[in-house]
A and B are shown apart, each in its own frame.
Chain A
Amino acid sequence: MKAPTIDYLAFAPILATLGGSLLVIAFALARASFVQRVVLPGLALVSIAVAAAFAVITWETGDQTTIIEGALAVDALALGFSLLVYAAGIGAIALSLRSEIARDAGRGEYYALLLASITGMTILVAAENLVTLFVGFELLSIPLYVMCAAAVRDERSLESGLKYLIVGSVGSATLLYGLAMIYGATGSTDFAGISAAIGTGVDATDPLLLSGIALAITGLAFKASVAPFHQWTPDVYEGAPTPVTAFMAVATKIAAFGVILRLFDDALLSTQLQWGPALAALCWVTIIVGNVGAIGQSSLKRMLAWSGVAQAGYLLAGIVVGTRLGAEAVFFYLAVYLLMNIAAFAVVIARERVSEHGDGLRSLERLGEASPWLAWPMTIAMLGLAGFPLTAGFFGKFQLINATVSGSYESLAIAIVIGSMISLAYYLRVIAVMWMSPREIEIPAAPGRASRKVRPAEGWSPEAGAAAQPEVTAVAVLCAVLVLAIGIFPDPLFDVARDVGSSLAGFL
């Protein structure tokens, strides 16, 4: 028996975050305040930076061979999605620096769990094998369950973690059932083997295969919070500590859509006629449910959770078409979604630390005059999420619509446009609360509840200024600047998206 050859350079990005998490645990034994406050987050940031550097060095376009006996792919798709996850991780660490959650959970454990989740995501998006896929999926999820529940002082955090654990486990079990059926139908756990088996030995309408695909869609839809498997999202996002919510909202979605892209547009592409209509229906439902659900939310975290459901619907449209254009659009949209959401969550974090309204919409009242360095990033993030021109969100939506139309799924383009119009109702309300000075702003109430009049907050505390939390403001401003920069000059990101799309060999 021969030991497998391991291409360590290609494996290095995953090893970097994995090793980083082990180092963080080891260093956390030192209780000195300097180590806890500076060294541990620094180590975590360095290991992510090293991983990102290796990902850039090993960047190759085209269909790449797999490493370590077909377990992992090191193509632009895996590396591109990994880079997005790293960016989300760096953002989450910056937002956690001064937060109570890192201290309550124990800083070493907190950053180690974060790095472990990042490792799981990078394994997931690189998986070329059903077994690797599932282990990566669990490695992503389990640290997040714990991080959601880690806020010792908050009962809602425990509820959030428990809810996420139970719903997530149902999703994992469903996914595993589906993967087992796909294996049973095709006789292979490798994506290449599955793709080769369909059409030669196995009919594309084989009931076992189709049931497996349906269950796998359901399992992955739980993770990507696609309706009707989204019910956990608002509760979990609201209860979880906000830096964790920020990480979960973007990184989980990136990893989930990365693996959906690889599983459906690579391994199962030849059954696109079978799963396409099903995913298109989910896409419609998700866009409508997410956008309608977001209207009338008074908590910013809940609003962003519902908006995340709606965005998952837009992203799904790029998967459904099963073309290279669709894959590129999904990557592009996830990149800008990452920036817009991190910016928005950074502002929520900055405000909830000082405002008596926590993460409520009222905490943003008159933010425009009080601290424009927070109000502008939030404004740009909201406009971007709504898809306004001059922001990156416009090109993201444009790309998705372009992909759906050229893939002859015009109905999904209509869904995206209708969804975007509904979404203006809640994105613009946030902007109105920040900039409009009227003393009374009427918040539309959820159905069945009386409309409430909201009075502006009294007084203004000195620490509310942007200077008190420079790193949070910096994250918000940096992301907002990037959203604008990509919105004006999107070509570099288009090029990266094209590289990512080139690694899926099945497309014409």
Chain B
Amino acid sequence: MAEVLFFLAAALAIGTALAIVLVQNPFYSVLALILNLIALAILFLLLNAEFLAAAQVVVYAGAVMVLYIFVTAYVGGSDQPVIPEGGVLRTIAPFFAAAIFIELSIAIVGSGLTMLDSSGAEISAGFGSPAQIGELLLSRFLVPFEAASYLLLITAVGAIVLAQRRRGLEEAEL
């Protein structure tokens, strides 16, 4: 059952990831991204990370992507191609992309194959539960957790600075 689910979710994840970049209409790209996030959530489930899977669906596939959809629907797609034609980069970029793809394939598939006959990492009871994640955030990863919350505050300040651009210059005089 788990194996079947893995291959289904993995195929869905790769297919939707390709669709995100290949589809011309940005609206469909966003829809593909939602499917991609759901496929990843299924993979998280198979890794015993139930809380992450739920958070992924609720926060990303649910909340954040709704914003994306609104923005693409509001702004709309443009007729201009995303990548301008011609140019040196256009010609050599595929080679670099292929090189990186081969490198990553060797690294990931190579390490994955050596693990074929093993039973995988050992996990303790309650692994990936909200309680354990909460405990980690407040003990081992306290500094990154607090720094991330500070980062969110600063991002809000930055958003205000950029939003001022629209308001014009009258109030900038002080």
Contacts of B76 in A (CB 8 A): none
Contacts of A113 in B (CB 8 A): 154, 157-158, 161
**CB closest residue in chain A, given B131:** A1
Contacting B at CB under 8 A, from A128-142, are 129, 131-132, 134-136, 138-139, 142
Does any Cβ of B come within 8 Å of A103's Cβ? yes
- Find out whether the CB atom of A132 lies under 8 angstroms from the CB atom of B172: no
- Digitize A94-110: 1 where CB-to-B-CB distance is under 8 Å, 0 elsewhere: 00000000011111011
A381 CB to nearest B CB, Å: 31
Query: A145 to B154, alpha carbons, bound, how many Å?
Result: 12
- Digitize B137-174: 1 where CB-to-A-CB distance is under 8 Å, 0 elsewhere: 01111111001101100110111111011000100111
Given A208-B108, A214-B103, also A109-B161 (CB < 8 A)? yes
Query: A419 to B81, alpha carbons, bound, how many Å?
Result: 41
Query: A13 to B33, alpha carbons, bound, how many Å?
Result: 41
Given A36-B174, A116-B154, A208-B108, also A106-B147 (CB < 8 A)? no
- Digitize A67-110: 1 where CB-to-B-CB distance is under 8 Å, 0 elsewhere: 01111100000000000000000000000000000011111011
Given A69-B142, A132-B144, also A106-B107 (CB < 8 A)? no
Given A69-B142, A132-B143, also A142-B158 (CB < 8 A)? yes
- Find out whether the CB atom of B165 lies under 8 angstroms from the CB atom of A158: yes
State which of A110, A129, A153, A184 has its C-beta within 8 Å of the C-beta of B144: A129
Given A31-B174, A112-B157, A119-B150, also A69-B140 (CB < 8 A)? yes
Query: A36 to B174, alpha carbons, bound, how many Å?
Result: 8
A133 CB to nearest B CB, Å: 9
Contacts of B150 in A (CB 8 A): 18, 116, 119, 139
Does any Cβ of B come within 8 Å of A33's Cβ? yes
- Find out whether the CB atom of A106 lies under 8 angstroms from the CB atom of B164: yes
Given A3-B139, A36-B174, A70-B140, also A150-B106 (CB < 8 A)? no
Does any Cβ of A come within 8 Å of B64's Cβ? no
B37 CB to nearest A CB, Å: 16
Contacts of B135 in A (CB 8 A): 1
Contacts of B172 in A (CB 8 A): 103-104, 106, 152
State which of A4, A107, A139, A212 has its C-beta within 8 Å of the C-beta of B139: A4
Given A103-B172, A123-B147, also A131-B141 (CB < 8 A)? yes
Given A113-B154, A142-B155, also A68-B143 (CB < 8 A)? yes
Does any Cβ of A come within 8 Å of B110's Cβ? yes
Contacting A at CB under 8 A, from B82-123, are 103-104, 106-108, 110-111
Query: A237 to B24, alpha carbons, bound, how many Å?
Result: 33
Does any Cβ of B come within 8 Å of A442's Cβ? no
The number of A-B residue pairs with CB atoms under 8 Å apart is 120
- Find out whether the CB atom of B143 lies under 8 angstroms from the CB atom of A25: no
State which of A18, A25, A107, A207 has its C-beta within 8 Å of the C-beta of B157: A25
Given A135-B151, A211-B103, also A109-B139 (CB < 8 A)? no
**CB closest residue in chain A, given B103:** A211
Does any Cβ of B come within 8 Å of A185's Cβ? yes
- Digitize B21-53: 1 where CB-to-A-CB distance is under 8 Å, 0 elsewhere: 000000000000000000000000000000000
Query: A131 to B148, alpha carbons, bound, how many Å?
Result: 10
Query: A4 to B141, alpha carbons, bound, how many Å?
Result: 10
Contacts of A208 in B (CB 8 A): 107-108, 110-111
- Digitize A285-307: 1 where CB-to-B-CB distance is under 8 Å, 0 elsewhere: 00000000000000000000000
- Residues of A at the B interface (CB closer than 8 Å) are 1-4, 6, 18, 21, 25, 31, 33, 36, 68-72, 103-107, 109-110, 112-113, 116, 119-120, 123, 129, 131-132, 134-136, 138-139, 142-143, 145-146, 149-150, 152-153, 158, 181, 184-185, 206-208, 210-212, 214
5 more contacts with CB within 8 A, not counting A103-B173, A208-B110, are A69-B140, A72-B143, A109-B158, A135-B144, A152-B172
24 chain-A/chain-B pairs, Cβ below 8 angstroms: A3-B138, A4-B138, A4-B139, A21-B154, A36-B174, A69-B141, A109-B160, A110-B161, A116-B150, A116-B154, A116-B157, A120-B147, A129-B144, A131-B144, A134-B144, A138-B151, A139-B154, A142-B158, A145-B158, A152-B165, A152-B172, A158-B165, A207-B111, A208-B108
